[in-house]
């Protein structure tokens, strides 16, 4: 799985992880959030983009994204659950890697492309429950900028 960084170019998962750690080591006294969010755009195929954001609170951020295409999904419910599972899988992988290196105190947030307005409102409880039940913090719109802004930007 490769990632694209607007500043670093094409990176492997390991290179992305090392860049995240390096970014945090540049200013270890600062407070960080690690965010994973996925958005999708249906066309002939469905374009899924998963974004990883390392946010130095009040002092900027870096982000990376992975893009993949799947066959057309006709159900919004199926697409939203697939987005959440993609984010959950990557967040789990990042959390595991952080724990291996003694950085398990950094909590990974998962940003979901669901909100109280629109068609996805009926899915909130199930999707948030799936994420929270896996041990991650879940954010929905309007707080889920990892999915609704960063990932969305690259689905177009």
Region label for 9, one of left (φ > 0), alpha (ψ between -120 and 50) or beta (otherwise): left
Q: What mean pLDDT do residues 118-126 have?
A: 95
**110 vs 104: which has the higher pLDDT:** 110
Q: For 6-19, what is each residue's pLDDT tens digit?
A: 999 999 999 999 99
Neighbours of 21 (CB within 10 A): 16
Q: For 12-52, what is each residue's pLDDT tens digit?
A: 999 999 999 999 999 999 999 999 999 999 988 999 999 99
For residue 104, is pLDDT > 80? no
Strands (E), the chain: 2-5, 9-12, 32-42, 45-56, 61-71, 108-115, 137-141
For residue 112, is pLDDT > 90? yes
Q: Under a CB-based contact definition with an 8 Å cutoff, are residues 73 and 46 in contact? A: yes
Residue 145: which H helix or E strand, with range? helix 145-145
The whole-model pTM stands at 0.95
C-alpha Rg value of the chain to the nearest Å: 15
Amino acid 130: pLDDT: 97
Q: What mean pLDDT do residues 97-123 have?
A: 91
Q: Which residues of 127-154 are buried (b: 16+ CB within 10 A; e: fewer)?
A: bbebbeeeebebbbbeebbbbbbbbbeb
């Amino acid at each position: 799985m490769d990632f694209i960084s607007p500043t670093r170019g094409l990176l492997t998962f390991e290179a992305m992880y090392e860049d995240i750690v390096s970014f945090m080591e540049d200013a270890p006294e600062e407070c960080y959030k690690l965010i994973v969010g996925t958005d999708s755009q249906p066309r002939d195929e469905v374009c899924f983009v998963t974004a990883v954001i390392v946010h130095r609170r009040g002092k900027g951020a870096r982000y990376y994204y992975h893009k993949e295409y799947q066959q057309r999904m006709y159900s919004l419910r199926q697409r939203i659950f697939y987005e959440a599972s993609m984010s959950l899988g990557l967040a789990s992988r990042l959390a595991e890697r952080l724990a291996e290196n003694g950085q398990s105190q950094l909590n990974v947030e998962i940003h979901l492309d669901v909100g109280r307005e629109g068609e996805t409102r009926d899915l909130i409880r199930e999707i948030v429950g799936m994420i929270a039940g896996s041990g991650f913090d879940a954010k929905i719109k309007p707080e889920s900028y990892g999915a609704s802004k960063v990932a969305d930007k690259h689905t177009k």
